[in-house]
Structure 1
Amino acid sequence: MSVFDQLVGQDRVVDTLRQTLTTSGAMTHAWLITGPPGSGRSVAARAFAAALQCERADDPGCGDCQACRMVMAGSHPDVRVVDTEQTFIKVDEARELVVEAQARPSIGRWRVIVVEDADRLNDHSANTMLKSLEEPPARTLWLLCAPSLEDVLVTIRSRCRHLRLGTPPVTAVAELLISRDGIDPPMAHYAARAAQSHIGIARRLARDEHARNRRREITSIPLTLTSLGAALRAAQDLVDDAGQGAKAMSEDYADEQRRELLTQLGADPSARTQPPAVRSHLKRLDDRLKAEARRQQHDSFDAALTDLASVYRDALLVATGSEVEPVNVSEPEQISRLARALRPEGLLRALETIGLARQRLIANGAPLLVLEAMMIGLMLPTDQGADHGAAGGAGRPRAGTRR
């Protein structure tokens, strides 16, 4: 099984990478791989890294040799994968990568640096990496990943060869869930469409009933926003749900990580106090765990807003008579009611309101205040049956929103 088989619905990208591997002089020292969430940016980078180290010259990326297996498992010494939990990649980490990029490969043919969140490079960390990106050693390769070109600083993207992934077809994602994870076909197709072809989310929806129930709760929110109190409660529910997920992760995961660290340091995990040197390691671990919890909370908000926006998107399709297939195919009555309650202009403004909330959360806005403002902006018109109608709360400015 080839390492490229995991790239679902990306035949053009796979062909480009294979051609690069087999054509003399076609290799580029720095790549920028972009694509929407769930398209497989990180998978493409890891698969390419495995193919570069593959032991079979006639079939690079075979997936069977030791080098391929080590890269895909994250244990190859010549492949460094950076997956930050911080808001930005710090200068110190960028310097470490530059130093590592100068080293010769130890057992493989290439030294490969994979930065999964290149959009998190700020001006300072990006400037630290520019020289190495432009003129790396002969056997060093940079693979940077980001949602789009616009998310990456121009100084970075101008030094890279761009490789763009598209959104994989729903059918391709469903087939992957069926063949790889053993999911029943009806559930696989539901999950793939509800996840909007995001492979990771689709897999979670297909396997986790709680995730499916939570998504149904979120997609039912629009028709409940009939009063200020309902809007504020909906915002609080989203914050509480995200907080519970982050808390569960931090409590269960943190204890395990602390025990593992203390064992590695030769310290007694049951001791009430630890030596100063051990305490400094624990402090760094606590900082990392807090950053991971914040990232978990942000991811929860982002997934909720994506699901919420899908309802208004589907209602807009109905309101405008579009023949595009909806995301929420199992809820036609709810979608039709929302389309009748809001004009197309109001539905568009609802999508803008959700987009603004997402931007404010990325900018570290207070989650409860941001979501309260969003829910107030999404409130339904008082008279939902008026067909001369107001565009609803999403169609006119309200307190806490900005037009």
Structure 2
Amino acid sequence: MSVWDAVVGQEAAVGVLRAASLDPQAMTHAWLVTGPPGSGRSTAARAFAAALQCEQGGCGHCQACTTTIAGTHADVTVVATEKVTITIEEVRDLIGVAQRSPSQGRWRVIILEDADRMVERTSNVLLKAIEEPPPRTVWLLCAPSPQDVVVTIRSRCRGVALRIPPVADVAALLVARDGVDPQVADAAARAAQSHIGLARRLARDPAARERRDRTLQLAATIRGVGDAVLAAADLVEVATAEAKAATEHRDAAEKAALLHTLGADGGGTLPPSLRAQVRQLEEGQKRRATRAQRDVLDRSLLDLLSLYRDVLVVQLGADVELVNTAQRADVVELAAASSAEQTVRRMDAIGEARTRLAGNVAPLLAMEAMAVALRPQG
């Protein structure tokens, strides 16, 4: 067992990172780990951080490895935003941490997940720290692709590209690590399109599988503009409810903790200085809820995209396996009722909806425009 066992289907990338952790000549002060969603960017970054702290390059058993993977190592800092963007204040705090010498480990490691969520001004603040870090400081940035990070940052980082892991490898991980039934694991890995985190959720949560099936059924229910509007509202409603369920309890706990810290948990009217702190917390929670809703909607759109991908596979007679094997009958029916050109146009409409969501278009408007484009064309 080693820390690299959790980095599934990434043999080439693991080889590069393992060699760097063992050979000072192969080491550099800044890395950019890129790969599609679900490829395991953060997992690879944490494994690399553990290997850097471990005397044996990531044995998986020593204190350095176990504390790094658990997120409790004193010299490994991980930032993973749950908001739409990483703020400039968060980056400035990281820069301050990066200037400190390691207190226990061999390196001071800063892992910045979602590095693509920095606006240009924030990236410029980070640039100087990456250009001239202290001798034992390592920056590990994660993003979907190099193009998602400003050129001044990526030009100063050594890149490591991850691929989409094979379905069989993801299914095997679910069986070995989570004890999932092999058939369920295979279906979940296919439905998640090898997204490891999503596959695990689908395999272990029947409600998640039910929500996904409900999303896929929308394609067969849209017959006209009226159906499209209702389907769009349904998508947004489900996404809002799921995002609220994921954040509501945490929001309440955070607010209660803040009020307790301020000595105001007994109720009553708060003075203006304390109200400002509560308002700041609520604004941050609102941004987190916005991102959660967008993430749920984007995942639903990817599910729909996978369905029309299967439709196109059937229409073209391609010799590849379907992603949605349980929906084979629906796929065949949709394929027979439309042409390949229409399917491509529908896939383009889904892609456009994802772009609009990323551009902060109102979710309901983006979903309605997409759903109307999915209706059968006379």
TM-score by length of structure 2 reads: 0.96
The residue type paired with residue 206 of structure 1 is A
- Secondary structure of the residue that 2:355 maps to in structure 1? helix
Distance 1:274 1:3 in 2: 49
Which deviations, in whole Å up to 9, do the C-alpha atoms of 1:283-332 show, x marking residues without a partner? 33222211211111011101100000011100101111101111011222
Distance 1:112 1:62 in 2: 18
Distance 1:252 1:270 in 2: 20
Distance 1:24 1:94 in 2: 27
Partner of 1:197: 194
Give 1:277 shift.
5.4
Partner of 2:118: 121
Partner of 1:53: 53
User: Are 2:334 and 1:338 equivalent residues in the alignment?
Assistant: yes
Distance 1:119 1:222 in 2: 32
The residue type paired with residue 360 of structure 2 is N
Distance 2:269 2:52 in 1: 47
Give 1:268 shift.
5.4
Distance 1:28 1:301 in 2: 38
The residue type paired with residue 61 of structure 1 is G
User: Are 2:160 and 1:163 equivalent residues in the alignment?
Assistant: yes
Give 1:85 shift.
2.3
Which of the numbers 125, 134, 137 marks the counterpart of 1:137? 134
Give 1:22 shift.
1.5
- Secondary structure of the residue that 1:296 maps to in structure 2? helix
Partner of 1:22: 22
- Secondary structure of the residue that 2:24 maps to in structure 1? coil
Distance 1:84 1:333 in 2: 40
Partner of 2:95: 98
Distance 1:49 1:94 in 2: 19
Which of the numbers 353, 359, 365 marks the counterpart of 1:357? 353
| Structure 2 counterparts to residues 29-40 of structure 1, below 5 A | 29-40=29-40
Hey, which of these two has a bigger chunk of helix by percent?
A: 2
| Structure 2 counterparts to residues 241-260 of structure 1, below 5 A | 241-260=238-257
Which deviations, in whole Å up to 9, do the C-alpha atoms of 1:237-271 show, x marking residues without a partner? 001111112222343221222233344x2635343
Partner of 1:387: none
TM-score by length of structure 1 reads: 0.90
User: Are 2:68 and 1:71 equivalent residues in the alignment?
Assistant: yes
The residue type paired with residue 340 of structure 1 is A
User: Are 2:232 and 1:228 equivalent residues in the alignment?
Assistant: no
Distance 2:173 2:78 in 1: 25
Which deviations, in whole Å up to 9, do the C-alpha atoms of 1:329-365 show, x marking residues without a partner? 1222211111122211111111111000000000000
The residue type paired with residue 84 of structure 1 is T
Q: Do the aligned partners of 1:223 and 1:380 also contact (CA within 8 Å) in 2?
A: no
Q: Give ranges in structure 2 of 5+ residues lacking alignment.
A: none
Distance 2:7 2:68 in 1: 16
Give 1:276 shift.
5.4
- Secondary structure of the residue that 2:26 maps to in structure 1? coil
Q: Do the aligned partners of 1:30 and 1:160 also contact (CA within 8 Å) in 2?
A: yes
CA RMSD, Structure 1 to Structure 2 (Å): 1.5
The residue type paired with residue 220 of structure 1 is Q
Which deviations, in whole Å up to 9, do the C-alpha atoms of 1:116-158 show, x marking residues without a partner? 0111121111111112112211101000000011111111111
Distance 1:325 1:35 in 2: 23
Which of the numbers 268, 271, 278 marks the counterpart of 1:272? 268
Distance 2:70 2:259 in 1: 25
Give 1:275 shift.
5.6
The residue type paired with residue 288 of structure 2 is E
The residue type paired with residue 350 of structure 1 is R
- Secondary structure of the residue that 1:330 maps to in structure 2? helix
- Secondary structure of the residue that 1:163 maps to in structure 2? strand
Structure number with greater CO (CA < 8 Å, separation at least 6) is: 2
Partner of 1:399: none
Give 1:381 shift.
2.3
Q: Do the aligned partners of 1:34 and 1:162 also contact (CA within 8 Å) in 2?
A: yes
Q: Do the aligned partners of 2:84 and 2:288 also contact (CA within 8 Å) in 1?
A: no
Which of the numbers 203, 206, 225 marks the counterpart of 1:206? 203
Q: Do the aligned partners of 1:3 and 1:63 also contact (CA within 8 Å) in 2?
A: yes
Distance 1:67 1:280 in 2: 40
Partner of 1:395: none
| Structure 2 counterparts to residues 386-401 of structure 1, below 5 A | none
Distance 1:328 1:18 in 2: 36
Distance 1:53 1:286 in 2: 37
Distance 1:277 1:43 in 2: 41
Which deviations, in whole Å up to 9, do the C-alpha atoms of 1:9-60 show, x marking residues without a partner? 1111111111111123110110000001100000111111111112xx2x22
Distance 2:206 2:373 in 1: 31
Partner of 2:376: 380
Q: Do the aligned partners of 1:267 and 1:274 also contact (CA within 8 Å) in 2?
A: no
